[in-house]
Amino acid sequence: MSDVAELERVADQGRAPGRRRDDATRRAILRAAFDIIEADGYRAFTIEGVAARSGAGKTTIYRWWPSKEALAVDAFMSEIGECGQGQDTGSVIEDLKATVVRISENLEGKTGRVLAAILGGGQNDLETSIQFRDRFMIPRRELGRATLQRGIASGELRPDLDVDAALEALIAPIYMRLLMRLGPCDAAWAQRFADTVIRGLVAHKPS
């Protein structure tokens, strides 16, 4: 049984048949794209390969995605999830730690390998870099900026904090660790890393 047929079989029976088939086909295409990138790397990723693996036609794929770059980013995002609201537990410091741990854990395993493949491919492919930056990085960066600004306003973080520099200090090393294969991006490492960096962001109380 093809991926499309199987997904159609388990789709929600309450949806209209046309919508059900479309949803099942989209999921099969995204899954095929993700699996190809994870298994074979970004250079081996083609619309033809996705069509063959998913059972969908190339015309159908191009109807929903204008380019393989857009499809690659969507395939990654379908696994890692869309950008939601920033966490607000009442403590910006704890929110920042939780965010670092969550990002690190999300990039372990298959999602991390696919991200590394996309970022590596994007070094020589401007369209891939633009798709990833605009659709994945920028929305998450804005949430991070808002969290840091909230911490400045509440007095938890230094009033002179350079928000952009602080954000990059918190996030960029995670991607470097992933791309350079310096070690696992697990919760234990992420907690130690977050504790170390956040010490430099916290407002010092008068003695």
Q: Which residue has the tokens 């990723």?
A: 45
Residue 82 has pLDDT above 80, yes or no: no
pLDDT digits (tens, 9 = 90+) for 144-182: 999 999 999 999 999 999 999 999 999 999 988 888 878
Q: In terms of CATH, what superfamily is 82-198?
A: Tetracycline Repressor, domain 2 (1.10.357.10)
**Residues composing the chain:** 207
Same fold, 3-78 and 82-198: yes
CATH T-level fold of 3-78: Tetracycline Repressor; domain 2 (1.10.357)
pLDDT of residue 5: 44
Collect all residues with Cβ–Cβ distance below 8 Å to 67 and sequence separation of at least 6: 127, 131
Alpha-carbon distance of 113 to 108, in angstroms, equals: 8
At residue 144, the 3 state secondary structure works out as: helix
Residue 52 has pLDDT above 80, yes or no: yes
**Total Cβ atoms within 10 A of residue 193:** 19
pLDDT digits (tens, 9 = 90+) for 6-48: 444 444 444 455 566 788 999 999 999 999 999 998 888 999 9
Residue 197 is inside which H or E element, if any? helix 187-198
Alpha-carbon distance of 117 to 115, in angstroms, equals: 5
For the record, the structure tokens of 176 come out as: 């470097």
Section 178-203 average pLDDT = 87
pLDDT of residue 88: 76
Higher pLDDT, 197 or 179: 197
Q: pTM to 2 decimals?
A: 0.75
For the record, the structure tokens of 80 come out as: 């890692």
| Domain boundaries of the chain, sorted by first residue | 3-78, 82-198
pLDDT of residue 175: 87
What crossing angle do the helices spanning 163-180 and 138-154 adopt, rounded to 10°?
130
Enter the DSSP assignment of 66. Answer: S
**Total Cβ atoms within 10 A of residue 81:** 9
For the record, the structure tokens of 11 come out as: 């789709």
Asked if 149 and 163 touch (Cβ cutoff 8 Å), the reply is yes
